């Protein structure tokens, strides 16, 4: 088989707007680099609820199964927030999709180029040399998937609970994944937990420690989540690979994104043991700015760069996308989320065009 099939799931809110920019990039890659990519679109989340009454229709799941990779926009929005839990876009759509394909390893790279340090909300002296943090987040376990319940009598609101459960094998495989990636970078991992309080964190720390013995060349340290959040803000430059649980990774990755400019620039790859991947912006459907043509499409575009790297093994093209995004920013093109409040910003569409043009000129 010589074609590569991508299941495209635009989803809700700004999802379809930023996915349109993603298509521009895919089209350039097809035309200029003769990549034999076939895309097929499917519904997920709110739009699937509206059309079929279900956030993850069988047709979508089958389509993903028959593809080589999944490219997703974002799901969710106020319209579907009051549905029963498992019929919601997030809990009934995105999470089951991740679980179905066993996408336990979530990679979220936050990069601040030194030339673009003014994008960061931090003082320039703190981010003078830029930073490059890779957040590796466990994605199919922990408190997101543990036992949970709530007293259904809403009048009484007596109790509700969620359980953080981690099996040793889940911690082992994400730890090994992180160490392998760290070996290809600056060989430094900070593992984050709350081992001074939580049993699941104690197990996490013990297992990460035991796996580290197999990787003597990688320097491992541990931080409690509260301290970690503080250290990252005070000195992001000191971090290389961050390894964390599902919930902590959710929080930390948004923090790192903000430090590098905006959540609108944070891409993510979610992989299983066979390297099958789901690629999506880390941010959400941003209902506050939907249909205004102002959302930042960079996270979506960089998700394609990650797809090229991890699913298609086309590192050169992946790097090309990264460098064209960097060039666009260096030339001063800004969407509203990363613009200086006083200065002009360009639309979602325009940013997509600029980056697509830069890529096509490289050919
Ligand atoms: P959000 O990430 O959608 O928005 C948070 C803030 O960041 C908003 O001010 C938004 O305008 C801004 N923002 C996000 N992406 C942006 C972009 N590309 N360009 C410019 N600004 C951007 O988070 P939220 O408001 O907490 O959640 C909204 C909905 O999205 C919820 O239903 C939530 O569950 C869902 N969500 C989905 C995903 C996903 O599909 N992967 C991820 C996170 C949140
Ligand atoms: C993310 C999102 C999701 C998560 C939500 C929408 C379920 O916030 O991808 O970071 O918490 O994993
Ligand atoms: Mn999140």
Query: How many angstroms separate the alpha carbon of residue 358 from the centre of ligand 2?
Result: 31
Is residue 294 marked as binding?
A: yes
Q: How far is the CA of 2 from the centre of ligand 1 (A)?
A: 36
pLDDT of the residue at 363: 60
Residues 255 and 276 in one domain: no
| 57, 9 contact by CB (below 8 A) | no
Residues 190 and 305 in one domain: no
One domain for residues 234 and 298: no
The bound ligand whose nearest atom lies closest to the alpha carbon of 258 is 1
Residue 264 maps to a domain: no
Q: Which ligand is nearest to the CA of 254?
A: 3
Confidence class of residue 159 from pLDDT cuts 50, 70 and 90? confident
Q: Do 50 and 161 belong together in one domain? A: no
Is 116 part of any domain? Answer: no
What residues make up the domain containing 155? 121-259
Is 208 in the same domain as 295? no
Give Cα 90 to chain centroid, integer Å: 14
User: What pLDDT is stored for residue 341 in this prediction?
Assistant: 74
Q: In a 10 Å sphere around its CB, with 0-12 CB exposed, 13-18 middle and 19+ buried, how is residue 36 labelled?
A: exposed
> Quick one: pLDDT band at residue 156, thresholds 50, 70, 90?
low
Alpha-carbon distances, residue 98 vs 50, 90, 139, 242 (angstroms):
21, 11, 8, 21
pLDDT at residue 157 in the model:
67
Q: Which of 38-47, 75-84, 233-242, 334-343 has the lowest mean pLDDT?
A: 334-343
Residue 250 assigned to a binding site? yes
Based on the fold, state whether residues 30 and 81 are members of the same structural domain. yes
Q: Output the CA 237–ligand 3 centroid distance in Å.
A: 22
Please report how the helices 15-33 and 298-310 are oriented relative to each other, as an axis angle in degrees rounded to 10. 50
Neighbouring residues of 70: CB distance < 8 A, sequence distance ≥ 6: 6, 7, 9, 64, 97, 101, 277, 278, 279
Question: Is the pLDDT confidence value at 215 over 70?
Answer: yes
Q: Are residues 125 and 254 in the same domain?
A: yes
Q: Do 133 and 249 reside in the same domain of the chain?
A: yes
Across 39-52, average pLDDT: 98
What span, in angstroms and rounded, lies between the C-alpha atoms of 221 and 205?
10
Residue 113 inside a domain? The answer is no
Catalytic residue among 144, 166, 310, 333: 144
Read off the pLDDT of each residue in 330-334 and give the average, rounded to a whole number.
96
Q: Please report the pLDDT score of residue 150 as a whole number.
A: 85
CA atoms of 75 and 286, how far apart (whole Å): 9
287 touches 13 (CB < 8 A): yes
Nearest atom in ligand 1 to 337's CA: 20
What does each C-alpha distance from 331 to 28, 115, 295, 327, 338 come to in angstroms? 21, 11, 19, 6, 14
User: What residues flank ion ligand 3 with Cβ within 5 A?
Assistant: 250
Q: Are 246 and 138 in contact (CB under 8 A)?
A: yes
State the total domains in the chain.
2
303 and 189: one domain?
Answer: no
What's residue 154's pLDDT?
64
ipTM: 0.99
Taking the C-alpha atoms of residue 331 and residue 325, their distance in angstroms, rounded to an integer, is 10
Residues 277 and 25: their CA atoms lie apart, in Å, by 19
Q: Are residues 8 and 132 in the same domain?
A: no
Is residue 203 in a domain?
yes
- pTM of the model as a whole: 0.97
Residue 109 CB less than 6 A away from ligand 1? no
User: Of 225, 259, 293, at which residue does a domain stop?
Assistant: 259
Distance of CA 132 to the CA centre of its chain: 15
**Is position 200 within any domain?**
yes
Q: Are residues 141 and 242 in the same domain?
A: yes
Rounded to a whole number, what is the largest CA-CA distance in the chain?
Answer: 64
Quote the pLDDT of residue 263: 98
Task: Mark whether 255 and 273 lie in a shared domain.
Answer: no
Annotated active-site residue 24? The verdict is: no
- For residue 82 and ligand 1, the question of a CB distance below 6 A is answered with no
132 within domain boundaries? yes
Is 108 assigned to a binding site? yes
How confident is the prediction for the chain on average, in pLDDT?
Answer: 96
Q: 96: annotated binding-site residue? A: no
Condensed to tens digits (0 to 9), the pLDDT of residues 257-300 reads 999 999 999 999 999 999 999 999 999 999 999 999 999 999 99
Residue 321 lies in a domain: yes
Is 51 considered catalytic here?
Answer: no
Residues 245 and 194: their CA atoms lie apart, in Å, by 10
Determine if ligand 2 sits within 6 Å of the CB of residue 90: yes
Helix or strand run (H / E) with residue 355: helix 348-362
> What is the band of 152 on the pLDDT scale with cuts at 50, 70, 90?
low
Q: Tell me the CATH number at 65.
A: 3.40.718.10
250 lines ligand 2 (CB under 6 A): yes
Note whether residue 139 is domain-resident: yes
Domain boundary, last residue among 207, 232, 259:
259
- pLDDT above 90: percentage of residues in the chain: 93
**Contact, 279 vs 269, CB < 8 A?**
yes
Domain boundary among 227, 259, 291: 259
Mean pLDDT of 100-128: 96
Over residues 75-81, the mean pLDDT reads: 97
């Amino acid at each position: 088989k010589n074609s590569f099939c991508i299941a495209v799931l635009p989803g809700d809110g700004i999802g379809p707007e930023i996915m349109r920019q993603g298509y521009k990039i895919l089209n350039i890659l097809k035309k200029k680099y003769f990549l034999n990519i076939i895309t097929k679109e499917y519904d997920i989340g709110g739009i699937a609820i509206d059309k079929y009454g279900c956030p993850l229709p069988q047709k979508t799941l089958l389509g993903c199964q028959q593809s080589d990779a999944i490219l997703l926009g974002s799901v969710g929005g106020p319209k579907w927030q009051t549905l029963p839990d498992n019929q919601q876009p997030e809990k009934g759509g995105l999470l089951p999709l991740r679980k179905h394909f066993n996408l336990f390893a979530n990679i979220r790279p936050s990069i601040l180029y030194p030339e673009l340090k003014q994008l960061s909300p931090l003082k320039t002296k703190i981010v003078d040399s830029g930073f490059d943090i890779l957040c590796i987040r466990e994605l199919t376990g922990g408190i997101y998937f543990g036992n949970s319940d709530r007293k259904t009598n809403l009048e009484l609101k007596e109790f509700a609970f969620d359980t953080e459960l981690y099996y040793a094998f889940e911690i082992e495989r994400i730890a090994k994944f992180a160490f392998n990636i760290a070996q290809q970078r600056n060989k430094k991992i900070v593992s984050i937990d709350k081992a001074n309080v939580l049993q699941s964190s104690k197990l996490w720390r013990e297992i990460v420690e035991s796996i580290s013995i197999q990787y003597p060349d990688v320097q491992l340290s541990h931080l409690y989540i509260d301290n970690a959040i503080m250290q990252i803000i005070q000195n992001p430059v000191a971090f290389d690979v961050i390894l964390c649980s599902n919930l902590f990774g959710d929080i930390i990755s948004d923090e790192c994104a903000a430090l590098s400019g905006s959540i609108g620039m944070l891409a993510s790859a979610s992989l299983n043991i066979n390297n099958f991947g789901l690629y999506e912006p880390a941010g959400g459907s941003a209902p506050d700015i939907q249909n205004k043509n102002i959302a930042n499409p960079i996270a979506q575009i960089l998700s394609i760069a990650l797809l090229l790297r991890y699913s298609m093994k086309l590192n050169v093209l992946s790097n090309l996308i990264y460098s064209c995004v960097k060039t666009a920013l260096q030339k001063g093109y800004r969407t509203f989320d990363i613009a200086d409040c006083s200065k002009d910003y360009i639309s979602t569409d325009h940013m997509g065009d600029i980056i697509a043009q830069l890529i096509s000129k490289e050919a």
